[in-house]
Every structure is written in C-alpha cells, then in structure tokens.
Chain A
Amino acid sequence: MSKVNKAKAYWKENIKYVLILLFIWFLVSYGAGIVFKDELNQIKIKGFKLGFWFAQQGSLYVFVILIFVYVRLMNKLDKKYGYDE
C-alpha cells in the first residue's frame, strides 16, 4: 500500500469507529435519558425509574466505557497500520 493510500484507509476505519461510538453516545443520553424518558420510566429497577436512571447515572457510565473502547480500538488500529509508537 502506498503511503497516501495507507493514510486514507486508516482514516476511513477511524471515522467508522467514531460514528458507531457517537451513535451509542447519542442513543443513551438524548434517546434514553431525554426523548424516551417517559416510556422508560414505566420500567422500574429497584427504586430507579429507568429513564431517570439513564439521565442521571446510566449515560455517565456508558460515556466512560465508550472512551475506553475507543482507546482500545485505536491502539489496535495504530498497530495494524504501523502508526503506533
């Protein structure tokens, strides 16, 4: 692979990861925490209504997981393309 093509392929895979992770980011916070909150509030786990829980707890945990997943994916991708150092 030429240098330019390699960089392009790397960038394309990176963008794919970013889009998938941001989709999840959007889904838990704006989806579960805001737009579908009332529907989810019908479900109750212990003392928490589910929509309320996503808005004040769940999305925060998912955010942390998303970043660490991204770190892992990108470290692997860097290795695959020989960009790691």
Chain B
Amino acid sequence: MMNKGLLIANLDVQTWTYILVGITFALYIGIAIWSRASSTKEFYVAGGGVSPLANGMATAADWMSAASFISMAGIISFAGYDGAVYLMGWTGGYVLLALLLAPYLRKFGKFTVPDFIGDRYYSKTARIVAVFCALIVSFTYVAGQMRGVGIVFSRFLEVDINTGVIIGMLIVLFYAVLGGMKGITYTQVAQYCVLIFAFMVPAIFISIQMTGNPIPQLGFGSQLSDGSGTFLLDKLDGLSTELGFSEYTEGSKSTVDMFAITLALMVGTAGLPHVIVRFFTVKRVKDARKSAGIALLLIVILYSTAPAVAVFARTNMIETVSNQPYSDVPQWFKKWETTGLITFTDKNKDGKIQYVADETINELVVDRDIMVLANPEIAKLPNWVIALVAAGGLAAALSTAAGLLLVISASVSHDLIKKVFNPKISEKGELVAARLSAVGAVCVAGYFGIHPPGFVAAVVALAFGLAAASFFPAIILGIFYKKMNKEGAIAGMVVGITAMLLYMMKYRLGWFDAALPSKNEWWFGISPEGFGSIAMMLNFMVSIVVMKFTKPPPEDVQEIVENIRIPSGVNNAINH
C-alpha cells in the first residue's frame, strides 16, 4: 500500500498526461459509439430533443476554444485592463443571442443558419452568400483549433506538432463523422466537465497560495498572504510601473477602440454559426432561452476566473525572473525555453534577466500561451495538476473544432447539395454526403493545422468581425423588421463582409502597402479587430437603404416572420 502511494506521487508529468489524456479520449470515443446518428435530423441538430442543461454545457464547450482555455488568461496578463474587451466581448454576446436570436431561430426550426437566411429572404442567392460567409468564418476559426491541439500534444507528450495534429484529426473525425451533432453534443458535455475542472483546480490552488482565499474571483482583489497587508492588484500595479509598463489596472487602448472591439466581439459571438446552430437542438422555444442562460453561466465560471489567473501568473512570473541571475532560474524556465516559447538574450551580459517594457534593453520574451500552460509549474503544483491542464486544453480545442466541422459539413451537404444542386437527393444520400463533407472538412482543417498560413493567428480574432459584418444584421433584420427584403439583405451581407475583409487585408495583413500601415492611419482610431462593429453598421445601413428602393417581400414571407415571433407550436414549424 505504502509503495503504491509513493509510486502515484512520483509519477512524472508525462506519464500523468498519457493517463489523463488517454482516459478522456476513451470517454469521448465511447460516447461517440453510444450516440451515433441515424438520420439527417440527428446528424444536423441531434434530433432536436436535447435538454436545456445538456445543450448549455455543450454550447459552453463548443464556445470555449483553445484560445479561451490556453491563450486568454495569458493575453489578459500582458494587456491588463485592456483584456476586458475579450471578457466582456465573448460573454456579452450571449445576452444578444438569448434576447434577440436564439428563441426565434429555434421557432423557425431548420438545420443551419443559411437555411434561415435562404428561407427568410426567399432566395437561393441569399442562401449561397450565407454559405460562403459561414465557410469563411468557420475555416479561419477551425485552423487555429487544430494548431492548438498540435501545440498541446507536442509540449506535453513530446511528440512532433504534426503528429499531434494528426492524432487530434483522427479523434475528431471519429466522433464527428459517426455521431454528427448528436455525438458532438454529448462529447461536448463531457468535454465541458474536463475543461472546467482542469481550469479551476490550478486557479484555486494558486489563489490559496498567494492570497489565502480559495475563490480566485475574490482572491485577486484580496491582500497578499505574506502578511504585508498589500493588496495583490496594488502590488502588480507597482511592479508593472517599476518595469516601465503601464499600470496593470489602467491599460493603454483608446476608449473608442475599447468600445469598438468589445462591440465587434459581442455581435460576432451572437453571429457565429456554430454557436447559433446549437439552439436548433433543443425542444421548445423556452428551452432555447433557458439553455442560453445556462451556457453563459457555465462560460462565466471560466471567464471570471481567467482575469484572476492572469494577475496571479503575471505577479508570479515577474517575481520569479525579474533581475534574477540566469543560472538560478527554476526548471520550468529551462523546459519552456527548449520549446521556444520563452527566449532570453543577455543583452548587457550581466548574467541577470532584465524584463522591462523598453524593447532595446528587455532581455526576456515570453509567449502569452505559457501563462496558463506553465502556471501550475511556476506555482510548483503537483504533477497531476500539470497533466490535467493538458487534458483540459485538448478538450477545449477538440470540442470547438468538432462544432465548427459540423457547420462546415452541414453547409456543404445540406445548404449546397440538398438545397441548391440536387434537391432530389434521398435522406440516406444526404447523410452520406454530410459524413463525406465532414471528412473533407477535417482534412482541410488538419492541413491548415500542419501548414498554418502565416496569417491564421491574426485572422482567428477577426472571424468575429466577419460574423458581425455578415450574419448578425441579416438575422436581426429578418426577425425584427418584417419589411426587410432579399435585395436589402444580400446587398448588406456582401458590403459588410467585403468591407471587413478589405480593412483586415489593408490594416492587419498589410497586403496593399509596402509596409503594414501604422495605427495612426486607422479609421477613427479603430483597430482591425474592432472594425467589425463599423462593418456591421454599414451592413445595417446598406440593407435598409436598398430595401427602400426595391420590392417588399411577398405575403407568405411576412407571415413566416409573424409566426417565428410566437413561441408556441414549434413542431408545426418543423413539419412545414
């Protein structure tokens, strides 16, 4: 007994990682086999009978990607107050979803977002424009997820990044192709549990270590447990200014840019097809509202902890490395150096680490992803906690990738093949087509994961801008403005997404100039990340102006709108 206990305590991180990742993967595969889809309705919307709680958990896992789990706390720890754009942007969108979109789209009761656009705007062109927008948004997003899978694998299991991507592809392929939305929903429920546990455990440990308060949300506003009586945030503000950074709680973005980015992220969240489609899977309209609330509650558990983790990690890091002799750095520092995510160049040859804001004398570059991945090691937590973070990161990346792949496959098999090219295709034929398009989508995603085009990292954040600029106005007007017609909606979507793409190419990718244009040239001082809110307004304006000069929509379409505003009678709506 004694020996066994010792053995478990002594297992190294890698063994623990194999054990935990192995168990979770076996769980996902088991669920996939148990819940395979046998009809297109099960494949696209899990049969439409998912409970609000299960859908809320699945939505939360679907929503929280590798970026939320691995990168967000790190981004905040370097951005300080400015990081609030992500916190508010990626949660506030759910209020819009619950109040303005989810109930009505559920009542409408079809399979995809282009379904709604195509029917509401009585037009194949509108449907195809919507499919095109859905594909651009989903592919930019999914490439980042596969890359995230690769990074976690390579770091924790010490395999090559590409091998990691391929393992991830096989797993997703297995349960997305077999189970469709049904399989994805129930694996996402499991993945939510894994990822939230993996995020909270180290956060709680570190909060107790630093402040004595087990609740991280309160811990980062508490006094340090070293008996000095100093508040943690005051200490971090002091450390930051000492090193020449701006005060942690003040930030450096302009108010107008904060405003624009937050709005673009909120509206983009509400317009993301893989999130919207989750609300097609519940039974009744009231379930759609309720599951939006549950989803946000479950998301906020992680999102309200992330800024606390950011403060703990940043304080810990500065204290551990700043002005310390390089020869004395702890083991985790060396380990992460080999991955290239930490680099140290002793510019002034004094053998000590100078970590300061001034680029010319700063000697330390830390990748933001480390803040979550290395956090347990920095805080000297047990090996199983470190391994847990790997399993959590994988759960986050895989669940989001699966949700996106389903949107892509449904866009191809349902919106293009069934509704445009071959309406006579049988139910069985469509199911085969859906599975084949899922396979195709996994391969493309894997390709981007292995050969990431240089612009992927920059573009993932902009997927929100694209969704905000295209879908959001078309759906809102479709529900709240009975007189909106196809001409207006199509023109709005085309202008919105084009404006967003052009602004992004010019000011983020620098494709139109010899060098990337500086911040001073941004329109109204708004960054490409925030431009989605301008493009969205442009979409609204163009839609309304074009509508005024064209034919109103036919009577039966106006009746559809009246019908979706009434919550009862969902099943009649489905059988239309």
State the A residues within 8 Å of B (CB).
7, 10-11, 14, 18, 21-22, 25, 29-30, 33-35, 37, 41, 45-49, 52-53, 55-57, 59-61, 63-64, 66-68, 70-71, 74-75, 78, 82-85
Q: What residues of chain A lie closer than 8 Å to B562, measured between beta carbons?
A: 7
B293 touches A68 (CB 8 A): yes
A60 touches B88 (CB 8 A): yes
Provide the bound-state CA to CA distance between A82 and B569, in Å: 11
- Min distance, Cβ A79 to any Cβ of chain B, angstroms: 10
Q: What residues of chain B lie closer than 8 Å to A85, measured between beta carbons?
A: 284, 567-570
Question: Would you call B95 an interface residue if the criterion is a C-beta within 8 Å of the partner chain's C-beta atoms?
Answer: yes
Question: Would you call B84 an interface residue if the criterion is a C-beta within 8 Å of the partner chain's C-beta atoms?
Answer: yes
- Min distance, Cβ A67 to any Cβ of chain B, angstroms: 4
Per-position 1/0 for B284-313, Cβ under 8 A of A? 101001101100110010011001000000
B262 touches A46 (CB 8 A): no
Residue of B nearest to A14 (CB): B565
Once A7-B562, A30-B259, A66-B95 are accepted as A-B contacts, the answer to whether A56 and B296 lie under 8 Å apart by CB is no
7 nearest CB pairs, A to B: A47-B231, A55-B84, A67-B293, A47-B221, A48-B221, A83-B568, A56-B307
- Min distance, Cβ A71 to any Cβ of chain B, angstroms: 5
State the B residues within 8 Å of A (CB).
76, 81, 83-84, 87-88, 91-92, 94-95, 98-100, 103, 217, 220-223, 231-234, 249-250, 255, 258-259, 262-263, 284, 286, 289-290, 292-293, 296-297, 300, 303-304, 307, 562, 565-570
Q: What residues of chain B lie closer than 8 Å to A37, measured between beta carbons?
A: 81
A11 touches B565 (CB 8 A): yes
- Residue among A30, A46, A52, A57 making CB contact with B231, cutoff 8 Å: A46
- Main secondary structure on A side of the interface with B: helix
Residue of A nearest to B563 (CB): A7
- Residue among A7, A10, A52, A75 making CB contact with B249, cutoff 8 Å: A52
B258 touches A34 (CB 8 A): yes
A71 touches B568 (CB 8 A): no
B92 touches A61 (CB 8 A): no
Provide the bound-state CA to CA distance between A71 and B292, in Å: 9
Provide the bound-state CA to CA distance between A60 and B298, in Å: 11
- Min distance, Cβ B562 to any Cβ of chain A, angstroms: 7
- Min distance, Cβ A66 to any Cβ of chain B, angstroms: 5
Once A35-B255, A63-B296, A68-B293 are accepted as A-B contacts, the answer to whether A46 and B222 lie under 8 Å apart by CB is yes
A63 touches B99 (CB 8 A): no
Provide the bound-state CA to CA distance between A64 and B95, in Å: 8
- Residue among B91, B566, B568, B569 making CB contact with A63, cutoff 8 Å: B91
Provide the bound-state CA to CA distance between A33 and B99, in Å: 21
A46 touches B221 (CB 8 A): yes
- Min distance, Cβ B320 to any Cβ of chain A, angstroms: 21
Provide the bound-state CA to CA distance between A45 and B220, in Å: 12
A71 touches B293 (CB 8 A): yes
Provide the bound-state CA to CA distance between A82 and B81, in Å: 47
Once A63-B95, A83-B566, A84-B568 are accepted as A-B contacts, the answer to whether A70 and B231 lie under 8 Å apart by CB is no
Residue of B nearest to A48 (CB): B221
- Min distance, Cβ B65 to any Cβ of chain A, angstroms: 18
- Min distance, Cβ A30 to any Cβ of chain B, angstroms: 6
Once A56-B81, A85-B568 are accepted as A-B contacts, the answer to whether A64 and B262 lie under 8 Å apart by CB is no
- Residue among B231, B262, B300 making CB contact with A61, cutoff 8 Å: B300
Q: What residues of chain A lie closer than 8 Å to B223, measured between beta carbons?
A: 47
Give me 21 A-to-B residue pairs in the complex whose CB atoms sit less than 8 angstroms apart, sorted by A's number. A25-B95, A33-B88, A34-B255, A34-B259, A47-B220, A48-B221, A48-B233, A49-B233, A52-B84, A55-B87, A56-B81, A56-B83, A57-B307, A59-B92, A61-B304, A66-B95, A67-B293, A71-B286, A74-B103, A83-B567, A83-B568
- Min distance, Cβ B226 to any Cβ of chain A, angstroms: 14
A67 touches B255 (CB 8 A): no
A63 touches B81 (CB 8 A): no
- Min distance, Cβ B71 to any Cβ of chain A, angstroms: 16
B249 touches A64 (CB 8 A): no
A60 touches B221 (CB 8 A): no
Provide the bound-state CA to CA distance between A85 and B566, in Å: 12
Residue of B nearest to A10 (CB): B566
Q: Which of A10, A29, A49, A84 has the most CB of B within 10 A?
A: A29
Provide the bound-state CA to CA distance between A48 and B231, in Å: 9
Q: What residues of chain A lie closer than 8 Å to B234, measured between beta carbons?
A: 47
B567 touches A78 (CB 8 A): yes
- Min distance, Cβ A47 to any Cβ of chain B, angstroms: 3
- Min distance, Cβ B499 to any Cβ of chain A, angstroms: 23
Once A59-B92, A67-B95, A67-B296 are accepted as A-B contacts, the answer to whether A7 and B304 lie under 8 Å apart by CB is no
Q: What residues of chain A lie closer than 8 Å to B262, measured between beta carbons?
A: 29-30, 34
A47 touches B233 (CB 8 A): yes
Q: Which of B84, B100, B220, B296 has the most CB of A within 10 A?
A: B84
Residue of B nearest to A69 (CB): B293
Q: What residues of chain A lie closer than 8 Å to B304, measured between beta carbons?
A: 57, 60-61
